[in-house]
Amino acid sequence: MLMSPELVAEINTLLLFNVADPQEGIKIHKDADPALIAAAGRLHDKGLLSQPDGGYLTLLGREAAEHLHMARTIVTSPPQASSVS
């Protein structure tokens, strides 16, 4: 199953957060990309963001963002040489 554009926008929104600093939030301005504004609203409705325009990650949002950051690191890493024993 492919991801919908809405889900991709939500993932990209969560990836904007610095998971190393839980006191660092984001502010999505009203003149931002409408897809980003809508994604933040949906994430807030799902309980992942503290505010509809960004704010801070909730505990659930932080966990989701950490997993997404890890997945991005894994899939963007250079291929490892396979070792056959």
Is 0.75 topped by the overall pTM?
yes
Model confidence at 83: pLDDT above 70: no
Model confidence at 82: pLDDT above 80: no
- Assign 77 a pLDDT band (cuts: 50, 70, 90): very high
- What ranges do the domains of the chain cover? 5-76
Biggest CA pair distance of the chain: 57
Task: Give the pLDDT score at 84.
Answer: 60
> Given CA atoms 43, 45, 48, 53 in this order, what sign does their dihedral have?
positive
Report the candidate in 70, 12, 4, 59 with the shortest Cα–Cα distance to residue 40. Answer: 12
- Assign 81 a pLDDT band (cuts: 50, 70, 90): confident
Task: Give the pLDDT score at 1.
Answer: 86
